[in-house]
Copies of this chain bind each other. A is one copy, B any other.
Amino acid sequence: MKNLLIAQSGGPTAAINATLVGIYQAAHTSSRVDRIYGARNGIQGVLEESFVDLKELIKDTQDMELLCQTPAAALGSCRFKLENMENNDKQYEMLIGIFRRYQIAYFIYIGGNDSMDTVHKLSEYCKKKNIQDICIVGAPKTIDNDLVEIDHCPGFGSAAKYIATTFAELERDTQVYTMDSVFIVEVMGRNAGWLTAASALARLNGSRGPSLIYLCERTFHPEQFIADVESRLKEHTPVIVAVSEGIMDSQGRYYAELGQSKGTDSFGHKYMAGAGHMLENLVRQRIGCKVRSVELSLMQRSASHLASATDINEARLLGIKALQCAVDGLTGHMASLQRTASDYYEIEITSVPVAKVANFEKKVPLDYINPAGNDVTDEMIAYLKPLIQGEVRIQYKNGIPKHLVLGCI
């Protein structure tokens, strides 16, 4: 028996289940894979032998299609990093023991940075112990788009499409009144500003788009921000501002963390405020016009109803590739994709050694940000635009999208 084990990890995205479906499809049709197990809640579930038989839970192609339009990790997730081999050899022994017991020949882990660290460590352990009959492979996903050695990450395109659409809709919403007003929209991204940059895509159909865009890659200067807003207010209203949750001051401190108030509310409790809320307060006090902040919060990563067809299709292909890597014995590899053309959009599905990926972080290059640090460049738009193309034909029932809940988490 050569069985397959799949697990998902890290923050939810709209595309992570499409990668699960890709792996499942390729495994289902392969003569080199017998049973297809899923582990609940990532590597933690593997350690707890919390397995499900995916052939029982995904019955037909209709189930596969529904799973592709279901947001977040259908198998559950975890935030769990394996210890270093040198510190805790037992954890690795235990995992290999479990793999042996279930005759796992292939383990595919879908996730971001931390998950690729797990793939790397586990495959290194196998090499060290000369275990050649268990292949450990990674499949990428993260809305943050911060993995290296891949052109862009599955999940990011759908989040970017939601953000671009929402900025266009908010622009319609906020321009109905005539008085001066400022709208601050906080977008996810603590260390990488890719998602915030996607707000600029609202301009693609002729809208003004955000008046100002601040990414976390550049130090945030409150005085410059106030000057920027005042200058834009002279030109038009509303002034819509896109800001990364992870903007920092010149000493490298997150504004969101500086925002811990010493004051209390009517229940006597402390406040915590995000970057957007901080800037809202700043505008209220310094400029005094109408101002409101909005957080795109969890909606930006879970809005499957507005997924990018490009993203979902690529996520599925990366799943198929990950399974191919597994049966081909490419242990310690991650399925990846690269652009092969510059004047039109074409990608090649590849694989890369996970050692090059784990624990690295791809930030926005500085030439994708304008010199003033308050917008993105045309290079950024050219990079982002293909990733949000195409709509998924979502199946609805009773007026809301159908989801496939595997019932195992």
Beta-carbon contact of B294 and A168 below 8 Å: no
Give the segment of A28-36, A173-181, A331-339 that binds chain B: A173-181
Neighbouring B residues of A201 by C-beta, 8 Å: 398-400
Neighbouring B residues of A268 by C-beta, 8 Å: 285
Beta-carbon contact of B301 and A173 below 8 Å: yes
Q: Does A326 contact B (CB under 8 A)?
A: no
Beta-carbon contact of B173 and A72 below 8 Å: yes
Neighbouring B residues of A306 by C-beta, 8 Å: 305-306
Beta-carbon contact of B267 and A303 below 8 Å: no
Contact pick for A389, options B172, B178, B399, CB 8 Å:
B399
Beta-carbon contact of A269 and B282 below 8 Å: yes
Q: Does A383 contact B (CB under 8 A)?
A: no
Beta-carbon contact of B294 and A294 below 8 Å: no
Beta-carbon contact of A174 and B298 below 8 Å: yes
Give the segment of A147-155, A255-263, A363-371 that binds chain B: A255-263
Neighbouring B residues of A398 by C-beta, 8 Å: 201, 204-205, 385, 388-389
Neighbouring B residues of A77 by C-beta, 8 Å: 176-177
Beta-carbon contact of B170 and A302 below 8 Å: yes
Beta-carbon contact of B172 and A302 below 8 Å: yes
Give the segment of A99-107, A158-166, A315-323 that binds chain B: A158-166
Q: Does A390 contact B (CB under 8 A)?
A: yes
Beta-carbon contact of B303 and A169 below 8 Å: yes
Contact with B along A43-76 (1 / 0, CB 8 A): 0100000000000000000000000001111001
Which A residues fall within an 8 A CB radius of B? 8, 12, 41, 44, 70-73, 76-79, 161, 164-166, 168-170, 172-178, 183, 201-202, 204-207, 222, 255, 258-259, 261-271, 273, 277-278, 281-282, 284-285, 292, 294-299, 301-306, 308, 385, 388-391, 394, 396-403, 405, 409
Q: What are 9 A-B interface contacts by the 8 Å CB criterion?
A: A72-B175, A76-B178, A77-B176, A78-B178, A164-B400, A166-B299, A166-B303, A269-B284, A270-B281
Give 7 closest A-B pairs by Cβ, nearest first.
A263-B263, A388-B399, A269-B281, A258-B266, A204-B398, A173-B302, A77-B176
